[in-house]
Each structure stands twice: as C-alpha cells, then as structure tokens.
Amino acid sequence: MIFNTFSYFLLFLLPAAVLFRCVSPNWRAPLLGLSGAAFYIFFSLTAVGGVAGACCLAVFLWEALFSRLYRRGSVWCVVGIVQALVVLLIFKYWNFLVRVIPGLPENWHWSGAFLPLGISFFTFEFIHFARDRRLGKAEAGGFWEYFAFILFFPTMVAGPIKRYQDFLPALRNPSPDWARDWERGLTRILAGLVKKFAIADVLTAFTGHLNGADIMQAERWVLPLWILAYGFQIYADFSAYSDLAIGSARLFGLPVKENFDWPILQTNIAEFWSHWHMSLTRWLTDYVFIPLGGSRVPLPRVYLNVVATLLISGLWHGAGLNFVVWGLWHGVALAIHRWWSHRGPKSEAPPGKLRLIGAWTLTFLCVNLGWVWFAMDISTAMLFLRRLFWGA
C-alpha cells in the first residue's frame, strides 16, 4: 500500500498540500500535475520499474495533449475513448485474452507485460472526460487543469473515481478554511490508517489460508470463517484507501465524494451496490448501463443490461475468469432482485424487523459467497465450495 508509507506523507502529500495553499491560483494546477507526475514515477520504481513508469507517464501526457481536440459531437472524443480502451486492453488484458481465446498463437503472450499503477482508475477517468465532452456535459478547461485532474495523486492509484465537472470548480476555488480542512483531513487519514492496520492487516492472518493446500487440510467449519474474514478484510482495506484519498484531498481544500457507506448493513443487493464502491457504481451506471439502454427497454433487455454491466465490473477488477464469474454472480443477483421488485408481492406497510433481518441475512450471505470467486482462481474456488457444501 502506497498511502501508509512515510514517503507518501513526507515527500508528496504534506509538501504539495502546503505549497498548494501558498502559491498563486495560476500555479495550483501545474503544481498538482507535476507533483502527480513525480509521485507516479517515484512509486513506479518499485512496482514496474523506472523506465516502465516513465512510459506510463507518457500515456498521461499524451492523453492531456489529445484531450485538447475534444469538442461537442467531435469524432475525436470517440477516438479518445477507443485509444484509452486499447491501452487498458494491452497492459491489463492482453495475456488473459491470449490464454482464453481459442486459436490465438502462444507466442503472442507478452512475457514483459507489466501493470501500470492505477490503470483501471485513470482509464475510466479518461473515458468519462471524452464522453462528457462529446455530449457537452464538461467544459474543456485548460491543459494544466486537465493534467492536474488525471494526475491528482491522492486518487490516482485506488480511487475514488472522480468527475471533471466536480473537480474543476473545486480546483479553481478550493476551500479557504485551511485549519478546518486540515483538522478534518488528518482525522480522516488517521481513521483510514487505523482501519488498514487494525482491521484489514489483522484479518490477513485468516485470508492467507484461501489456497488449495490449506483448504484441503482445514476443518469444514473453518471455511466460512475464512471467507467471512475475507469479506471484512477487503471492505476494510478498500474503504481505508478511500478514507486516505478523501482525507488527503481535504488537505488541499478539494472535496472527493464518498466511496463506501456501510454496504455490509444493506438489506438487498441493489442497496449493497449503491453503497459499495459508489464512484464505480455511478460510473458503470452512467457510462455502461444507460448507454446499453438502461431501464428504458423491455424488461428482458433490462436484465441483460444489468448482467452485462456487472460482467464489465468483474473484468475491471481483475483479468481472470474468476472475476468474470464474480461479476456474473452479482449481475444475476441484481437481475433477480429487479425481477422480484417488479413481480413480487407489493405492500404499502413498512417491512417488519423480522423481514428486515431476513433480507439483510440473505444479502450478507449472497455477497460473502460471491467473495469466493473474487478471492480465488476458478479451480481453488470450486475446491472451496465442494468442501464447504459437501465436505468432499
């Protein structure tokens, strides 16, 4: 994790946040863009190597330059979306596609493949800007303003996924209440660090057992405890990233929207997704589900759109068949919930406590059983499920 290192706080966050408050407004965007570029190169040294990190940074520079061509209704916006998807496909999915598509030569495998830091997040922000410029929903802004948006380092690696329409006004007019912003920002950062170290990292002692050898040797009653621990661990880990990003942005006086709102307390799968990784859910709704037809088409098509959107969500999380199954699991669950909402019994009375407890239990079990596909490859997940349900 990058955000729990002294390098992040001492070399990047604190100096950049102080300078951002001190420089003139005309220098704020260049400062954020250049500090984000330095951040990306620095942390790419250990992740993918300095040369690879520099090449990835060239993608940001090209995107910032190419985005100057975007206009309402322009074909260049479509080209921008396509090139963003091509970059994502090459770096994240190329070897996966070579493995799963029959007939592709084995020598097409890219042995020197590396995964650029945060590519899933910044690609979605590239696509968002290009599409919204084409629809006239976002102004162009200046080169440095867009460069600061895509290289804003607190959200670059793990989100939340930002919208340019929200970021640009805040960049031009950040909150002037330095003391209050720093108090709230540092408090949120501290909460994220506690969540990371005291919950997520502690639970890895259990989630580290989700491998074939340990699953075969474990007592059957232990298996559900391991997958429950994984569900809480990934929630604490991911929401800790969001806490740190939101708190860090607050030091600059820049608001970043919430990303998690107690999803584990929700009583149906639709509410879970409206409270889990909310920036991703909003992005998928606006840029996948609605363009596919959303809820404006006949119900069978609506169900298909829901499943397709969640399949894309699964692939976005990782290049593996297990992530495809995880996306399919949630897509089918959402489609069933939508069908039940339309076809099921209607009641004007608010649900009773027993019904709410039952609904929460069903949702909780559905979500946590789905983590089996997220945490393990297909063969290991099948072994886990066989042992969990049949003891075989």
143-172 residue pLDDT tens = 999 999 999 999 998 889 999 999 999 999
Judge if 36 and 160 occupy the same domain: yes
**CB-based burial of residue 207 (10 Å sphere; 0-12 exposed, 13-18 middle, 19+ buried)?**
buried
pLDDT confidence of residue 57: 87
Largest CA distance in the chain: 67
What is the span of the domain harbouring residue 62?
6-174
Tokens of residue 81, six digits: 């979306």
Judge if 164 and 212 occupy the same domain: no
Report if residue 59 sits inside a domain. Answer: yes
Calculate the CA 270 to chain-centre distance. 18
Report if residue 1 sits inside a domain. Answer: no
| Dihedral sign computed on CA atoms, order 165, 168, 162, 236 | negative
Alpha-carbon span 313 to 273, nearest angstrom: 11
Report if residue 83 sits inside a domain. Answer: yes
Alpha-carbon span 280 to 288, nearest angstrom: 11
Task: Convert 223-241 to b/e letters by CB count within 10 Å (16 or more is b).
Answer: beebbbbbbbbbbbbbbbb
Report if residue 139 sits inside a domain. Answer: yes
Task: Name residues of the chain where pLDDT drops below 70.
Answer: 1, 48-51, 344-349, 392
Total domains present in the chain: 2
**C-beta separation of 207 from 226 below 8 A:** yes
Alpha-carbon span 150 to 91, nearest angstrom: 18
Q: Which of 329, 341, 335 is nearest to 381 (CA)?
A: 329
- Single out the residue in 174, 201, 216 at which a domain terminates: 174
Report if residue 302 sits inside a domain. Answer: yes
pLDDT confidence of residue 3: 82
Q: Which of 297, 291, 325, 299 is nearest to 310 (CA)?
A: 325
Interhelix angle 25-47/164-172, nearest 10 degrees:
130
- Single out the residue in 134, 150, 174 at which a domain terminates: 174
Judge if 267 and 120 occupy the same domain: no
- Single out the residue in 134, 156, 174 at which a domain terminates: 174
Judge if 257 and 169 occupy the same domain: no
**C-beta separation of 84 from 76 below 8 A:** no
Judge if 157 and 228 occupy the same domain: no
